[in-house]
Amino acid sequence: MQFARAAWKFLVAIKDGMVLIAMLLFFGALYALLSSQPNSAAIRDGALLLDLNGVVVEEPAAPTFEDFLAGNSGGPREYRLRDVVRAIDSTVEDDRVKAIVLDLSSFAGGGQTSLTDIGEALARAKKAGKPIYAFASFYSDDSYQLAAHATEIWMDPMGGIIFAGPGGNRLYYKGLIDRLGVTANIYRVGTYKSAVEPYMRADQSPASREASEALYGVLWDSWLAEVKKSRPQAIVQPFADDPASFITAAGGDIASVAVQQKLVDKLGDKTAFDRFVAEQVGVDETPSPDSFKSIDYDDFVAAHPVDSTGSPIGVVTVAGEIVGGKTGPGMAASGRIAERIYKALDEDEIKALVVRIDSPGGSAFASEEIRLALLEARKKKLPIVVSMGDVAASGGYWVAAAGDHIFAEPDTITGSIGVFAVLPSFEKALAKWGVTADGVQTTPLSGEPNFVGGFSEDLNAILQSGVENSYSDFIQLVSKARDKTPEQVDAIGQGRVWDGGTARQLGLIDGFGGMTEALAEAAKRAGLAEGDYHPQYLDPQNKLSWLGFDGLPFVAQQSPPVKGIVGWVAQREKAVFGAALATAQGLLAREDVQALCLECGAGARRNVRQSGDWIDRLLSYSFSSSPR
């Protein structure tokens, strides 16, 4: 008995200790977060430092509770696109800002349309007299798209520059699936709906190749045109077309090639660059004698909030893969988004709605839930204007069909009107080990789905019919929304992805423009005077709304800077491997009919930024989670 009492006291002590440790971690992390709030009063004269050590997204992902306890966001930082653009635009009227510094050494990229928006803001600031200085150890497509707007571009002499362009290989698993004996039961509609091709082919289909070549060609030409316009002296295309010849001729000295091709202006390490900027904006002696006076990005954003004068126009953000439930942000959870729409309608203050979409789609059911919520706004005679970001395809276009007017950019990826479903069965694999299935059925569907014995013809017919019905629903709603016949929509549907320019010619969108144009159109339709309105974002504006705190930033991990060509290759290898694993586990994990465009690449940025962790976590990776 005495031993039992001692053991019980010992267990209670362990429990109390664990509770105490958990409380200490919680309040320690909470204190760190409270003390790390942006301080708008700390702004002084100097250069606005855009140290973009992460990825630009439409809507940053919500941290998990584990991230909160750890005090970080679980990966490299995600920068909200509209915050970056607002910060740059705010420099025009802020005399404290003497220059803008782009430190792109750890920049993990963003969608082409998003980077164009940032580039246009940089161009406006430069036109207003704000010099822009860019530095990176290594430049590639995304970082150079921003750097091209700089007054002066610096690069580390041991660094490099490579332009890869859009495109590349996808992994195809048909051979592996056959070898393992797994049957991928595929149900789809759409000649170009290539999301399921890796499970039914060993290579890309001619139809998919045709669509990809057309899309990537437009995106690459657009990128070249933007860089040429921003930096006319740069000799980009010859170097991009044959980098090996240029670099080999220079004996592997990529930095000298960059200077010869006028891609960069100066070679120098980070210390030399900082000294140069200090000569322009003033020296900050506090960190080190080589530092320049800088303005913290978060402080500057906090000091320049969104204008709130005039009537409110509600802005609904649909960013990430569309899923059911109330998760996110970072995932476009239909329950959460619909709930916010209904709440805004009940408050009866907003005069119109702008729906900002940056999504490759996802669940057809979830897409319809969001669309139905938007239709409630139409019943209240509220104008609905859609603004497409980097991508608004499949389920993203399903949602867009609820709009009275659709804006996109020429580089927006849209369309992909098609649906599919993938379900695995293991009859071949089990048969290799002598496992078979048999039994008595009272109906044709008794015991179905039979993952051991294989799906029956009846079940296959039912599932294919259901997918075809979902496609028919998709066609009908687009037909009604865009004033086209179902046959016309079917001809431009079939799961094909289109660039924004072609989408406009096909009548899938109404015009070119971003959020500024969408808000102006919504205000016009609502009868509001020019300038007498402001955006009221219906998505949560803080990362700890689930705890009731406002505007508390997490301490994000920093993306490792790419130092040279070898590091760039290694990083891209990890990214491809991580994205392949995410695609493989995600397709077979989805539980309903999908209006999803995996080839569109939205969400790939998050796969890329986390790719360094994929290798380390491979053996312990859980295949039960859903990818972004």
The pLDDT tens digits for 195-231 are 888 888 999 999 889 999 999 999 999 999 999 999 9
Burial of 470 (0-12, 13-18, 19+ CB in 10 A): buried
Q: Residue 52 — very low, low, confident or very high, per pLDDT cuts 50/70/90?
A: very high
Mean pLDDT, residues 28-52 taken together: 70
pLDDT band at 300 (very low <50, low <70, confident <90, very high): very high
Query: What average pLDDT does range 69-82 have in this prediction?
Result: 73
Least confidently predicted of 36-50, 116-130, 549-563 = 549-563
Strands 322-323 and 332-333 turn out to be parallel
Mean pLDDT of 175-200: 86
Per-residue pLDDT at 441: 85
Q: Which residues are catalytic?
A: 193, 394
Lowest mean pLDDT among 166-170, 172-176, 586-590: 586-590
Mean pLDDT, the chain, rounded, equals 84
Triad 159, 160, 165: Cα angle to 5°? 145
Averaged pLDDT, 487-502:
94
CB contact at 8 A, 319 and 78: no
pLDDT for the residue numbered 70: 53
What percent of the chain lies above the pLDDT cut of 90? 57
Is residue 531 scored above 60 in pLDDT? yes
pLDDT tens digit string along 357-374?
999 999 999 999 999 999
Closest by CA to 404, choosing from 523, 536, 522, is 522
pLDDT of residue 541: 53
Residue 565 identity = I
Q: Which pLDDT band holds residue 607 (cuts at 50, 70, 90)?
A: very low
pTM: 0.85
User: What is the per-residue pLDDT for 124?
Assistant: 97
Q: What is the CATH number of domain 42-167+216-303?
A: 3.90.226.10
pLDDT digits (tens, 9 = 90+) for 379-412: 999 999 999 999 999 999 999 999 999 999 999 9
Start-to-end CA span in the chain (Å): 55
Closest by alpha carbon to 208, among 467, 468, 471, 416? 416
pLDDT band for 431, please (50, 70, 90 cuts).
confident
User: What residues pair up with 317 in beta bridges, in sequence order?
Assistant: 356
- Binned at pLDDT 50, 70 and 90, residue 608 comes out as very low
- Report whether 580 contacts 171 (CB < 8 A): yes
- Centre a 10 Å sphere on the Cβ of residue 118 and count the other Cβ atoms it contains: 23
- Residues 229-278: pLDDT tens digits? 999 999 999 999 999 999 999 999 999 999 999 999 999 999 999 999 99
Quick one: pLDDT at residue 451?
76
Q: Is the pLDDT of residue 290 over 70?
A: no
Instruction: Look at 362 and 594; give whichever has higher pLDDT.
Output: 362
Beta bridge partners of 128: none
- Strand, coil or helix: what is 71? coil
CA–CA separation, 395 and 398 (whole Å): 5
As a whole number, mean pLDDT of residues 94-99 equals 95
pLDDT tens, residue by residue, 146-167: 999 999 999 999 999 999 999 8
pLDDT reported for residue 64? 59
pLDDT for 297 beyond 50: yes
Average the pLDDT over 334-342 and give the result.
95
Instruction: Report d(CA 353, CA 350) in Å as an integer.
Output: 7
pLDDT at 71 over 90: no
pLDDT at 319 over 50: yes
**Quick one: pLDDT at residue 606?**
44
Whether the CB-CB separation of 417 and 382 falls below 8 Å is answered with no
